[in-house]
């Protein structure tokens, strides 16, 4: 199956959604399903004109809610392996302090700050299990990281 084009949404460790209305959320949902859709099709999905949809896309890009468009290949890392790392940071630290350091680690493809016992969920992809182990070691070795739990991806559905 060919690679699909997706978009990257987020604001580092901040919340996605502040200042957004229902039409913005519908637009993001449509892009998550298929970022290759035409502007006219997206406008139809959200119930706006083409120009109003373009203005919203421009605003979401400029504000950082949408950070870009990319491809996502089939399966865990296409022909490699993937894992999620569940990270807890030390007391007095924050995701905002760790994310710039984590962005420098090759193989990390997504990071999400979450509520609850875990502070950050990190997705990583590598050619093999040794690559995942190296990524885990790099994450665990960062100052401010209290704990890292690894969850290997068995199968990707979406």
Separation between Cα atoms, residue 36 and residue 109, nearest integer Å: 20
> Are residues 88 and 135 both part of a single domain?
yes
> Are residues 114 and 147 both part of a single domain?
yes
> Are residues 114 and 140 both part of a single domain?
yes
Confidence of residue 12 (pLDDT cuts 50, 70, 90): very low
Q: What is the pLDDT of residue 72?
A: 63
Residue 123's domain comprises 81-152
Averaged pLDDT, 86-110 = 94
Last residue of a domain, one of 48, 72, 96: 72
Residue 32: which H helix or E strand, with range? helix 22-33
> Are residues 19 and 36 both part of a single domain?
yes
Between 32 and 146, name the one with better pLDDT.
146
Region of residue 70 (phi > 0: left; psi between -120 and 50: alpha; otherwise: beta):
beta
Q: What is the pLDDT of residue 71?
A: 67
> Are residues 53 and 111 both part of a single domain?
no
Q: Is residue 44 part of a domain?
A: yes
> Are residues 101 and 135 both part of a single domain?
yes
Residue 11, pLDDT > 60, answer no
Residue 5, pLDDT > 90, answer no
pLDDT digits (tens, 9 = 90+) for 49-66: 999 999 999 999 998 888
Q: What is the pLDDT of residue 17?
A: 44
| Contacts for 112 with CB less than 8 Å, ≥ 6 apart | 10, 120, 121
Last residue of a domain, one of 72, 95, 124: 72
Q: Is residue 158 part of a domain?
A: no
Last residue of a domain, one of 23, 51, 72: 72
Residue 125, pLDDT > 60, answer yes
Confidence of residue 74 (pLDDT cuts 50, 70, 90): low
Q: In 3D, which of 102, 42, 97 has the Cα closest to residue 69?
A: 42
Averaged pLDDT, 113-140 = 96
Whether 141 contacts 92, CB under 8 Å: no
Total domain count for the chain? 2
Task: Indicate which CATH number applies to the domain containing 30.
Answer: 1.10.10.10
What single DSSP character describes residue 2? Answer: P
Separation between Cα atoms, residue 16 and residue 141, nearest integer Å: 28
Three-state DSSP class for residue 89: strand
Averaged pLDDT, 33-45 = 89
């Amino acid at each position: 199956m060919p690679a699909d084009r997706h978009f990257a949404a987020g604001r580092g460790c901040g919340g996605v959604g502040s200042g957004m209305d229902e039409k913005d959320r519908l637009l993001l949902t449509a892009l998550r399903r298929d970022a290759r859709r035409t502007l006219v099709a997206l406008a139809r999905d959200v119930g706006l004109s083409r120009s109003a949809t373009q203005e919203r896309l421009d605003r979401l890009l400029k504000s950082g809610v949408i950070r870009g468009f990319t491809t996502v290949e089939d399966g865990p890392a296409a022909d490699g392996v993937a894992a999620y790392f569940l990270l807890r940071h030390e007391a007095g630290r924050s995701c905002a302090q760790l994310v710039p350091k984590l962005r420098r680690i090759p193989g990390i493809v997504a990071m999400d700050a979450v509520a609850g016992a875990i502070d950050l969920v990190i997705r990583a992809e590598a050619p093999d299990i040794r690559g995942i182990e190296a990524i885990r070691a790099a994450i665990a070795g960062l100052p401010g990281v209290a704990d890292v739990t690894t969850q290997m991806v068995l199968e990707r559905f979406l």
